Structure 1
Amino acid sequence: MNIQTNDIQVAFGSKAILHDISLDIRDKEFVGIIGPNGSGKSTFLKCLYRVLQPNGGKIFFDGTELSDLSHRDTALKMAVVAQHSTVNFDFSVLEMVLMGRSPYKGLLDRDQLDDYEIARYALGQVGLSDFESRNFNTLSGGEQQRVILARALAQRTECLVLDEPTNHLDIKYQLELMTIVKRLDATVVSAIHDLNLAAIYCDRIIALKDGHIVCSGTPQDVLSSDTIRHIYGVSAMVQTLPDGRLNIIYNME
């Protein structure tokens, strides 16, 4: 799925959060959004998945303006893994993942055998096949994040939006989650905190600072020592490994 944003602007009262964000995200491209806290990463993603309404600008999915799509149509095209998932009811893990099938249902439709098969397959993808009867609220933060990813995978959409998806995950599951997402036959847009993960998995990186796009390009184009210093205010050495990937080492000053 192609995503195009034209001059997206968001303000809360008199405070501008995003300034004229224009992007063209290509079909099946893995795009990482980087930037310090408060740079506008989550705000931009929330505009994509319709939690926030921009104050200005337009968003298009495959040439159709987002406002012309129903929320159900949007859910059939885009799945979301947000930063925080608070559940106030005692849902089992399997019930949580089955919620990813809801865009395919009418109001009174019940889950069918294929829905259970899809949900269980998604749990297997995130390594939680043995957790389906567990109460979601009893899981660790990292386990809950993997369940939310499974729910998104069960949705089987053309696009996946992730807001710092590796929060709460140890290193093994960070790499496993990002590898699962990378292998999907889908467009992926992800806010990423860890620049080394961005360097490994992203086809293209968009760098934000104070609600503006600072630069955009491949990891090799964007993740330079000068750009990291400009965006984050820290000194870093960027190494190119024998396989062409980057390794970022931060320096104490």
Structure 2
Amino acid sequence: MTTIANNLQQVNDRISEACRAAGRAREEVALLAVSKTFGAEAVAEAAATGQRAFGENYIQEGVDKILALRQQLPFALQWHCIGPVQSNKTRLVAEHFDWVHTVDRLKIAQRLSDQRPRDLPALNVCIQVNVDGGETKAGVAPQDALELALAVAKLPRLRLRGLMSIPDASPDFAAQKAVHSAARALFDQIRKALVEAGIPGAEGFDTLSLGMTADLDAAIQAGSTLVRVGTGVFGGRTYPPA
């Protein structure tokens, strides 16, 4: 068994155990393997084990891998943009990714909708919320998230799927769970409001993207439906010079 295959097995075992501890079914929580800074060959190695969903933070790097692996693999992968999206990169995201987790402005959502090719399914979108008010974190403020969600849900080439948050690191399980639970409460509030507003497709608001390698156990306890794991799958990263 390769290192990546072994890591994936360990991460999936950890997710299963966290689900058991939370009284949840394993199929309620999906694994997004975060492949930023790792090459297409590492993604292919993970895909060979059955992993199909991959997250990329750097848009051009992600597009290069998407195009390369589309030619190499006999099956389709699902690609999630989980990094910041600037206006000059919306077309790349709209044309190549299946999901984007980091919508925090209506302007970006509108550009993604306008630029999504007509021959592709609607782009799955999560709204990024700065749930704990971290000064260095992106995301819409919690009190503004519902207004943004209602606007995004009306855009024709997007499919609003849920919320994403990356809170500041917390020192222990209880603190981690508390901040993730705040995101879960906001998720439930927005989903209820979408249904009450009669928004078409409101039942598809089903994704709570919370938790990474360090805090996935607490995120699952709080209700995460998708955990984003990078180092736990691919190992430590080496970043290029700034």
Q: Same fold (TM over 0.5)?
A: no
- Quick one: higher RCO (CA 8 Å, sep 6+), 1 or 2? 1
Higher strand proportion (structure 1 or 2): 1
Alignment TM-score, normalising by the size of structure 1: 0.29
Larger Rg: 1
Higher helix proportion (structure 1 or 2): 2
